[in-house]
Amino acid sequence: MIARRTHIQTISLVLLLLCGVPTQANDRTCTPNREGTMVCPEPDASCKADRTGEIICSTAGGGIELNRYGDPVCGPGYCAKDLRGDIFCSSQMRGAASVDRYGNAVCAGECVAAMPQRCVKPKPQQ
């Protein structure tokens, strides 16, 4: 009985982990820009299209989100949008960011405001 329960829990955990993989991998794939040229992020970076269709990326280990105006903003670590719609990122490379039950951003290290100046424009692939 215990072995069967452990087996079911293991299968459930594997399925749960596999469900999250496509979402994470999708952020790191190459994307065509408005001219149709493929643009790929650097390793450990993510890209998003801005409201004009231009592809903008985070730095390696950093986060990227679209602000309330549809413009990409980036941070040194991963980012989270708080209850007011402001975006905060971890001050640490690959640092986690989330929102607590009151809607406030919480981050590994410190929370810093996401800024467009922290984003990079990738070079199209040849």
pLDDT in tens, the chain (126 residues): 555 555 445 444 444 434 433 333 344 578 888 888 888 888 999 999 888 888 999 999 999 999 999 999 999 999 999 999 999 999 999 999 999 999 999 999 999 999 999 999 987 665
**Angle, vertex CA 25, rays to CA 111 and CA 33, nearest 5:** 90
Whether this prediction's pTM lies above 0.85 is answered by: no
